[in-house]
Structure 1
Amino acid sequence: MVIRTLVVEDDFRVSRIHCDYVSRVRDFEVIGQTATVADALTAVRTFHPDLLLLDIFLPDGSGLDVLRQLSGDEGGDRPDAIMITADRDITSVRVAMKLGAVGYLVKPFGAPDLAERLTAYRELQHRMDALGTVPETDQADVDALFSAARPPAVPRIPAKGHSAPTLTLLHQALRNAHGPVSAAEAAELTGVSRATAQRYLSYLVKEGMVRLELRYGATGRPEHRYRIAH
């Protein structure tokens, strides 16, 4: 499954950075960039993206106006939206939630922060697709959907030299992996360096959130592989 993403941001330099961040996350594809409310609405109705990275402050209005107008469209599926803005006003957060935004990121933020939200969103879509094949759901299924929409829990105050967003990113990558992965594979999945992946995975092992497994090859030297701890 490829999640087709439209970036709506009026600063072209910031827009390019956000597109680069999105392109680093597995299963996400940037299908376009727009800088105004009018262009965003046209792009959504033309290209039908799955997800918007939507700035609130735009030259001809607000990103919230984009959500309002798309909510009034008849026919077709409205894309989900992660709001991206420098606005820290709680009123904007509340309005965005009421309009159905699935996430909210306050500038400035780095690639791990956005990847954390995108990975959680991807997990939610995978779970919804899986449940779409069964006739009924139970409470456990519903709880799993709501939990998938949120980043997984990691230590709120990690050890010195470790950031919570990067820990969350690595932890989520292992949750989504099909079997144990090496530090190099984890780095490729998350966009961090191999050395960073190794350091954070070792910390997660120490915290009991990840399990270390040894795989022996022909040389006799074991390869360290990691899987989520259950």
Structure 2
Amino acid sequence: MIRVLVVDDDARVAHNHRKLVETLEGFEAVGVARTAAEALTSVEQLGPDLVLLDIYLPDESGVQVLQRLRGAAHTLDVLVITAMRDAETVQATMQSGAVHYLLKPFPFSELRDRLNQYAQARSALASVTEAEQSDVDRVYGLMRTRASPPAKLPKGLSQVTAQLVVDTLRTADTDLSALELGERAGLSRVSARRYLDHLSTTGTVELRLRYGSAGRPEHRYRWTGDADQ
């Protein structure tokens, strides 16, 4: 269970964020703080795993709260939620170790996706005792914004299935064949191959040929779209 502390000076926003957290499986909202002082006290008393931190606070900047938490060596993560768009603030939160920076206003689905990505990343890291580079890449990749497939798809291909293929491929720790991707995504090999071949023509998926000892080469696919985002 991931214990979440919501920090926002707007009572309505804090209430809505807490309600959203409570609807997600594997999450528990342990408290709400309206000021920097309340946030720091709540961290000490409640021991959250994750803090949803606004930057605009009446007594002290959220950036300073984040820096104080890091200075005190608290073993928690911070997801910044704010309307502040200046590059200096973004950089300061990144340097202080925020796992993400979500700009207001946003649909609730955006926050839900970020929280689910965070949970997946924690789970992926907890499943290994000594991380390989592929494990590190996967954990950091899960915390990135979901990549979207091309808006225009050939006739017979659906946007929903295309997104499923993209998400499956970009979170894989290796390249995949159409059969392997189909097994992970719940698709037939033929269907998976159609989507993969289309995505490879857009430059977001790299097609590699693996040659065996005999027979036709195996088609392998690797996600490359993040490199341009």
Q: Same fold (TM over 0.5)?
A: yes
Contact 1:56/1:85 (CA < 8 Å) preserved in 2? yes
Larger radius of gyration: 2
Alignment match, 1:143: 137
C-alpha change, 1:228 and 1:118, in structure 2 (3 Å) is farther
RMSD of the TM alignment (CA)?
2.3
Contact 1:85/1:105 (CA < 8 Å) preserved in 2? yes
- Equivalent position SS for 1:59: coil
Quick one: which amino acid aligns to residue 104 of structure 1?
Y
Instruction: Tell which has more relative contact order, 1 or 2 (C-alpha 8 A, sep 6+).
Output: 1
C-alpha change, 1:157 and 1:106, in structure 2 (3 Å) is farther
Any gaps of 5 or more consecutive residues in structure 2? 167-183, 193-229
- After TM superposition, the runs of 4+ consecutive aligned structure 1 residues lying more than 6 A away are none
**Offset of residue 91 of structure 1:** 1.0
Contact 2:148/2:163 (CA < 8 Å) preserved in 1? no
Alignment match, 1:121: 118
The size of the alignment, in residue pairs, is 167
**Offset of residue 113 of structure 1:** 0.4
State the percentage of identical aligned residues: 40
Any gaps of 5 or more consecutive residues in structure 1? 160-201, 211-225
Q: For 1:106 and 1:60, how far apart are their aligned partners in 2?
A: 21
Please, which of 141, 145, 149 is the counterpart of residue 155 of structure 1? 149
**Offset of residue 208 of structure 1:** 6.6
Question: Is 1:91 the equivalent of 2:85?
Answer: no
Residues 39-83 of structure 1, C-alpha deviations (whole Å, 9 max, x = no match):
100000111100000000100011111111112215xx3321111
- Equivalent position SS for 1:209: helix
Q: For 1:87 and 1:23, how far apart are their aligned partners in 2?
A: 26
Alignment match, 1:204: 160
Q: For 2:31 and 2:163, how far apart are their aligned partners in 1?
A: 40
Contact 2:3/2:29 (CA < 8 Å) preserved in 1? yes
Quick one: which amino acid aligns to residue 105 of structure 2?
P
Q: For 1:10 and 1:158, how far apart are their aligned partners in 2?
A: 42
